[in-house]
Structure 1
Amino acid sequence: MSFCLTGSAAVAFMSYNTMENLLKPDFFNTSKDTVKTMMSTVISATLPKTTNTKLTKPVNFTLKHIRFDPSGSLFCVYWNISEWIVDGCSVLKTNSSCTVCSCDHLSTFALIMQTSRHDSLMELLNLVCVIVGLVFFSLALLTFALCQWSPGVNNVARINICISLLLAHLLFLIIITVSHGLQVLCAVISGLLHFLFLSGFVWMFIEAVLLFICVKNLSQLSSINRAVLSREFLCVIGYVVALVVVAVSVVMDPNGYGSEMCWIKIDKGFISSFLGPVCMILTSNTILFIKIVITLNSTLKNLNSDVSQIKQTKIMVFKTLAQFVVLGCSWILGFFTNGSKVLEILFLIVNSQQGTFIFLIYCVFNNEVRQQYRKFFRCLCSGQKQH
């Protein structure tokens, strides 16, 4: 190695702006069939006046990303005759804009990202599920708005769950169709999705609390209904909590939104601004759901042999079990989908159909609503016959 009198050595770095078109990322051979993307320009590092490329200590260098925020696995690679390889190189740290590589020799380097190949069937299933979910969210909202409900029925949480998730589904359609590559639009959409999903989960928690109070049949219900469970108070809780979380997240890291998939960036722990509140709500809703089932079970044991009462209770049990999805508890599956295609498909289908379950439980299986449906269709048919 060529040292100067002070004991240091000069290293020359050269950057090639279009070399990635020749030394393509597809020359990076891996055991898995993945999509390879060049994430940096190709650079070379050499020691002048020597042919020795081995180093006594690893050299660290930073490569700036030339593409969108990375969403796959990053590899620091070097060119070896006819292919990119990783021997002697590793990723020290990375963020949304650059990656620090460490290599034990000098060569021609680059940064390559590996991502799983897009599954066209899964993308089609995702699109179909989102559209079906949109249809049933819309039907549920129309039913809540147009049908007459008993004075004791409180649909405020269900209506707002439908509104939040309906808008989130619409944004997903925008992501699928037009938003890729538009960084500003992606950042705005990811921020809106953050707010809508959080507000949806907060409303699921409110629905769980209301259902628990209903099942327990608390004597204080009539007295606290106006003061604590008023529609205005619930709306403040349902939307302000989510708005505060998103506002704090924006202040803490304004660049935390707008990943390649138009979602929250996962670096620097920013994703915890979503997963933290969601995990707390899922835990609370699961506990409330278990308590509701236990309460109903004890109620069943204390029933007399009144057939109609037993029938009504069975309907209530069925609706409570279906609430597992409505309350968002099935989102827990998302923590176990890694590596399991079956769980991934189940998670996609079940959680995209919360509107379907809401429509079935509170509209189709509601006798009063069914009677209003029949009346509406009879009027519609008679009107057509007159014409």
Structure 2
Amino acid sequence: MVFITSEKINSSSSDLKKQASDVLKVGEKLVSMLVKPTNTYDNVSFTRAAVEAQVFMVGPQAPLNKIPQLDTTNASIDIDLIGIAKNNNDTAAVAFMSYNTMEDLLKPDFFITSDDTVNTMMSTVISATLPKTPNTTLTKPVNFTLRHIREFESGGNLSCVYWNISEWIVDGCSVVKINSSFTVCSCLHLSTFALIMQTSKSPPEDGDPLMELVNLVSVIVGLVFTSLALLTFAFCRWKPGVNNVARINICISLLSAHLLFLLTQQFINLIKPHKELCAVISGALHFFFLSCFVWMFIEAVLLFICVKNLSKLSSKQRAVLNSGFLIVIGYVIAFVIVGVSVGLVPEGYGSEQCWIKQKKGFIWSFLGPVCFILAINTILFISIIISLNSTLKKLKAEYSRKKQTKIMVFKTLAQFVILGCPWILGFFTDNQMMKILFLILNSQQGTFIFLVYCVLSDEVRQQYMKWMRALLP
């Protein structure tokens, strides 16, 4: 029951050191209860999500010249238990535990180093004791082999440390061997151990003034035209259709995402110290940007259906799908993706820029759906072009019908830019020109929506003319 409780340790508590000490003390007492008398040798082991443990006992008739190596998933120990037994009437026992979640309590920051270094835990926290062994003096140094749980950085300095009441220290421990996957530590005593890497802090990078200016101006311009498009859709009184609903919600999602992004970047220095707020903001950005893409996908599907029915043009536009259903789909999909992401990797939100963290591939909770939608939209776009080309060849109506069809072709091309092109460029931002192009196009989706579906719309122009006639005497 104690180990079950240890799996639910609260790393957000202010008294982490006390929690860790309690778990370690109780763990040592519990494994000591597994020690039982034996004439030869015996061993007991168990594994849980939070801890792995092995207990090895030798007796006066043990036919061993050397103790077998004790192993867990991420660590192993070599100890001269036979020599220790000779100092204890030929009996001794060793308990070896590996705590998989103790890093959340015994943080690497508790290892006191210079201010210009960053400490990173490179192994699980392990503990070795000699339960029910009166004379615990080691006859030889004990060696631990610790598997790296993170990639070893070139230039990093590794230290074998043990826990001394309130901090990690290195007294009596040294590094014997290092490779890319494992480090061997040698210690003159038993305790709770870990492997910590020190790396130099990266100097703060000054933002590129040109990029910051381009980003700020582009986002503001995009917000203005997205707002104009949204107001136009809201106040123009033609019959609302499903396509109109999709465009309104694209504008709402774009406006929410870009406005929150702009405010976050402008006040990033005030937000970063509040990690919970930063994580909430990154989750909200994840949701709004995903909802943008879901609505873009819906718009692409509706455009595809419209083009497929182009040969049946009529004076009345009919909704092909229920608006309420699309509104639910447009936001529920994004909400479910974010909810699952929070449930699986809650620490994945709240990077230095209050966005999704890169570690453990968590960024693909955003890139995965985006890539999928862009791929589907590309397929739909190709199908639309093929269908339009076929319709134009067969169309033998009056010139005005052909003109309207050509306008629709132009809108389709512009729609593809709105739905996919700016974000596809995001995968090729290795040089500054591509990065600037990405920032400009990505932030101007609302501008393109306003130009194509408001400025070039006959219905919108007619509505504007009505307003002008009503205002003029």
Percent identity over the alignment is: 60
Residue matched to 1:314: 406
Structure 1 SS opposite 2:349: coil
Which residue number corresponds to residue 112 of structure 1?
Answer: 200
Moved more, 173-182 or 208-217: 173-182
Find the counterpart in structure 2 of residue 303 from structure 1: 395
2:377 to 278, 285, 302: 285
Instruction: Supply the distance in 1 between the matched residues of 2:336 and 2:386 (Cα, whole angstroms).
Output: 35
User: Conserved in 2, the CA contact under 8 Å of 1:132 and 1:353?
Assistant: yes
Q: What's the counterpart of residue 360 of structure 1?
A: 451
SS of equivalent residue, structure 1 residue 110? strand
Q: Does 1:270 align with 2:352?
A: no
Give 1:341's aligned residue: 432
Q: Determine the structure 2 residue equivalent to 1:96.
A: none
Structure with more contact order per residue of length (Cα contacts < 8 Å, sep ≥ 6): 1
Query: 1:77 — aligned with what?
Result: 156
Deviates more, 1:207-216 or 1:301-310: 301-310
Question: 1:237 Cα shift?
Answer: 0.7
Q: Does 1:198 align with 2:293?
A: no
Taking a change above 3 Å as real, the CA distance of residues 91 and 319 of structure 1, as seen in their structure-2 partners, is farther
- Shift in Å, 1:5: 7.5
Cα distance in 1 for partners of 2:438, 2:452 equals 20
* Shift in alpha-carbon separation, 1:122–1:91, aligned structure 2, 3 A: farther
Cα distance change of structure 1 residues 373 and 153 upon mapping to structure 2, 3 Å threshold? farther
Question: Which has more helix, going by share of residues?
Answer: 1
Deviation at 1:248, TM superposition (A): 1.1
Aligned AA (1:264):
I
TM-score by length of 1: 0.71
Structure 1 265/153 Cα, relative in aligned 2: closer, same or farther at 3 Å? Answer: closer
Cα RMSD after superposing both structures: 3.9
Q: Counterparts in 2 of 1:1-387, with a 5 A limit?
A: 17=112, 19-20=114-115, 24=116, 38-40=117-119, 75-78=154-157, 110-112=198-200, 114=202, 117-150=206-239, 154-178=243-267, 179-217=271-309, 229-304=321-396, 306-337=398-429, 339-380=430-471, 382=473
Q: Deviations over 1:122-166 (max 9, x none)?
A: 011111111111111110110000002246673011000110111
Kept in 2, the 8 Å contact 1:76–1:91? The answer is no
Asked if the contact 1:264/1:270 (under 8 Å) is kept, the reply is yes
- Max radius of gyration: which structure? 2
Gaps of 5+ in 2: 1-77, 84-107, 121-143, 159-176, 186-195
Contact 1:76/1:90 (CA < 8 Å) preserved in 2?
Answer: no
How far apart are residue 77 of structure 1 and its match?
Answer: 2.9
SS of aligned partner of 1:118? coil
Structure 1 residues 160 and 4, CA gap change in structure 2 (3 angstroms): closer
Q: Are the equivalent residues in 2 in contact too, given 1:74–1:91 (CA < 8 A)?
A: no
Tell whether the 8 Å contact from 1:75 to 1:112 is kept in structure 2 after alignment.
no
Which digits, 9 at most, give the CA deviation of each residue in 1:46-94, with x for residues without a partner? xxxxxxxxxxx9987789xxxxxxxxx9654359xxxxxxxx98876xx
Kindly provide the amino acid, as one letter, of the partner of residue 416 in structure 2: F
Question: Residue type of the partner of 1:123?
Answer: E
Question: 1:327 Cα shift?
Answer: 2.0
SS of match in other structure, 1:210: helix
Alpha carbons of structure 1 residues 211 and 342: separation in structure 2 relative to 1, 3 Å: same
Change (3 A) 1:251 1:7: same
